Structure 1
Amino acid sequence: MQPSVLLGIGLLIIGNVFSALYDVSVKWLPSNADAASFLLIRQVLSVLMMLPLWLYSGRSQTSHYKMHFFRANIGAIGGLCFIIGLMSLPLATAGALFFSGPIMIMVLGALLLKEKVTSLQWIAVFLGFIGIVILLRPTQINWFAVIVLVSALTFAVSQLTLKKLPSTENPALTLMLNNLFSLPLVCLMVVFFGELTISVDIILVALMSNIFLLIYQWFCFCAYRKTQASDIAIAEYTGLLFCVFFGWLWFDEWLDGLSWLGAGLIILPSLVLPYITHQWRKLQGHKLALAKKSHPIISG
């Protein structure tokens, strides 16, 4: 397996720890909070947090403002959808639906970016999705569930469009613009949903969740720039295991036997697939070498 793929998977797994922490933090919002106000506060705090990093990095610039604008606004739509889902559905149900994102990444990567997807990768993703259904067993399929699926789709598009940005792009600039360019749209969301709701509790939760989310986005930015999306998308499923762990740690939730089966279907493909791929390529190379020895080229 190429070092860039291993590095990308490792970065994504670390990032998923903070993604799970973000999910948990949203569940801690006070009852008087609304999704649009929380998103606006989070976006403003994101810009303020990334601004010093951007200044420290030398005020790097970009020529891809249209792509940043597109990613920022589709990310804001997805962010609002996921917040609504987390506030309205059980954490397990929302998480199960959102983790359809890696499958969308695989499919969109093959269709839009013409990335090569092997049969083993398709099998691994399919097993991972089956594991999610077994592990979390979502039972509430309603409009809130559809909203979470929309969020998963926007997540997949956002991750894939990172490939359209140059490798020299500064992550601090990308994350700052991702929040800055979406502020007008988020303000319209606040107007649509009603008046702005602000309290100390909401600000504290927004600050905490924002730290988790920015760290996650940073690791994702680095991971998806290292290799093609289809090679590492399967590692997105590890975030589900972290959700299970934090659910046990803070909410006294634990897995039954069937759930452990689901967890195995999620994590084992991520661990076994790289080894199988490496051994398959090694075997093919060995067969090719034997074929050359059996049929040498006879020169005159």
Structure 2
Amino acid sequence: MTLPRQNLAGLGILFVLVGVFCISINDLLIKQLSGGYPLHQIVFVRSGIGILFSLMIVQYEGGWGILRTDHPWLHAMRGILIVIANMTFFVALAVLPLADATALFFAAPLFITLLSIPVLGEKVGPLRLTAVAIGFAGVVIMQRPWADTSALEVSRIVLLLPVLSALTYALNQLLTRKLGVSSKASAMAVYIQATFILVSVAFYVVAGDGRFAYGATNGSVIFLLRAWVWPADSDIWVFAGLGVNSAIIGYCLSQAYRLADAATIAPFEYIGLPLAVVWGFLIFGDLPVIEVWIGITLILSAGLFVFLRERQKARVVARGQIKGAINGGVKRHPSVCITTFPVA
């Protein structure tokens, strides 16, 4: 029996807002730790703590039985995609300003809206497609393709890493939408945390002694491959906070994309952009250059338009359903729930 997909837009939006706020805190903490610890050690500790909290939520949502799945390979693919998304973003974050890396990563909601057409069969009209194109123009501007490589603070490969992260993150969230029909959010969070643990252990076995980092001068490579070290007392609480934060992120984002259409949820992830600018300025004293400001403006404008267009569509559908119910000619599908979410 196939279960109907839920479309609880208001609740999905709430979950994605909480998840994105926690992501901004996660990125801030990892950037702070990137100067003294290897990425795979941070991921291992974060996910080891996070999986414990996720298992607690599993008990609350139905017990160990909900961890059983008929789609283990799809869950494995989802886990690998999110690991790639995280690793590529964090490696770039070690050398890029927080706002720059986050702005480039925010091609993800654009990818999600675009890929929801072939992957999920969702309808995205020409106006929203135009908005997506404008958003991608912002991403290109932030890449500064006209600039000489020597004029850039980092290599072009590093600038492309957050975009690769965005693409793999988008594919992960679309899989979340498909798998969310039959899997609880807490179970999917456990699968993700377990994948992170396995990958970080593999990194430790291969490169945990730091031998591949010897002689390296690139900050991203050093962050990825340096040797494990015991955390300083002042950093233990940071690691613990990352673990708790990781559990909240995994649960909230899984719930968001289970409960609402991808094209509805994706634009709300843009709240991470102004948060990254604020944290980058307050903690690291960084402010984006003019190209990044232009890119952020284009991406935010595109995301806002997509959201307003989706909101307009929802109202039209709701009016049609009400009219049909009055006339007795339309039967509301049980999987559809239109929720009006007020804009402040």
TM-score (norm 1): 0.79
CA gap of 1:30–1:8, structure 2 versus 1, over 3 A, is closer
CA gap of 1:55–1:279, structure 2 versus 1, over 3 A, is closer
Output the amino acid matched with 1:45. Answer: I
Judge conservation of contact 1:105–1:229 (CA < 8 Å) in 2: yes
CA gap of 1:240–1:176, structure 2 versus 1, over 3 A, is same
- Matched position secondary structure for 2:94: helix
- Matched position secondary structure for 1:200: coil
Please tell me whether residue 265 in structure 1 is matched to residue 279 in structure 2.
no
Please tell me whether residue 199 in structure 1 is matched to residue 206 in structure 2.
no
Most deviating of 78-87 and 62-71: 62-71
Superposition deviation, residue 26 in structure 1: 1.0
**Structure 1 residues 51-93: Cα deviation after superposition (integer angstroms, max 9, x where no partner):** 3333344223322322222222222222222221111222122
Superposition deviation, residue 182 in structure 1: 4.1
CA gap of 1:51–1:11, structure 2 versus 1, over 3 A, is closer
Please tell me whether residue 145 in structure 1 is matched to residue 159 in structure 2.
yes
TM-score (norm 2): 0.70
Percent of residue pairs identical: 26
Judge conservation of contact 2:11–2:259 (CA < 8 Å) in 1: yes
Output the amino acid matched with 1:228. Answer: D
CA gap of 1:101–1:255, structure 2 versus 1, over 3 A, is closer
- Matched position secondary structure for 1:117: coil
Most deviating of 127-136 and 13-22: 127-136
Output the amino acid matched with 2:94. Answer: M
Please tell me whether residue 189 in structure 1 is matched to residue 203 in structure 2.
yes
Gaps of 5+ in 2: 1-5, 146-151, 210-226, 322-344
Output the amino acid matched with 1:200. Answer: P
**Structure 1 residues 219-275: Cα deviation after superposition (integer angstroms, max 9, x where no partner):** 211111122212322222221122223334434556899949818626642653345
Judge conservation of contact 2:30–2:90 (CA < 8 Å) in 1: yes
Superposition deviation, residue 38 in structure 1: 1.6
**Structure 1 residues 144-201: Cα deviation after superposition (integer angstroms, max 9, x where no partner):** 2233222222211111111232435232222112111443332222333342513224
Output the amino acid matched with 1:153. Answer: L
Output the amino acid matched with 1:43. Answer: S
- Equivalent runs, 1:1-300 vs 2, <5 Å: 4-29=8-33, 31-57=35-61, 58-61=63-66, 62-63=68-69, 64-130=71-137, 140=154, 142-195=156-209, 196-201=227-232, 203-252=236-285, 259=293, 262=297, 265=301, 268-269=304-305, 272-277=308-313
CA gap of 1:270–1:109, structure 2 versus 1, over 3 A, is closer
Larger relative helix fraction: 1
Judge conservation of contact 1:133–1:262 (CA < 8 Å) in 2: no
Residues in 2 aligned to 1:257 and 1:135: alpha-carbon distance in whole angstroms: 9
Output the amino acid matched with 2:64. Answer: R
Judge conservation of contact 2:79–2:195 (CA < 8 Å) in 1: yes
Output the amino acid matched with 2:177. Answer: K
Judge conservation of contact 2:78–2:172 (CA < 8 Å) in 1: yes
Judge conservation of contact 2:82–2:168 (CA < 8 Å) in 1: yes
Residues in 1 aligned to 2:33 and 2:319: alpha-carbon distance in whole angstroms: 53
Residues in 2 aligned to 1:105 and 1:224: alpha-carbon distance in whole angstroms: 11
Most deviating of 230-239 and 259-268: 259-268
Judge conservation of contact 1:98–1:148 (CA < 8 Å) in 2: yes
Output the amino acid matched with 1:60. Answer: G
Residues in 1 aligned to 2:161 and 2:30: alpha-carbon distance in whole angstroms: 16
Residues in 2 aligned to 1:110 and 1:193: alpha-carbon distance in whole angstroms: 40
Q: What is the match of residue 295 of structure 1?
A: none
Residues in 1 aligned to 2:95 and 2:289: alpha-carbon distance in whole angstroms: 25
Gaps of 5+ in 1: 286-300
Output the amino acid matched with 1:156. Answer: A
* Cα root mean square deviation, aligned: 3.5
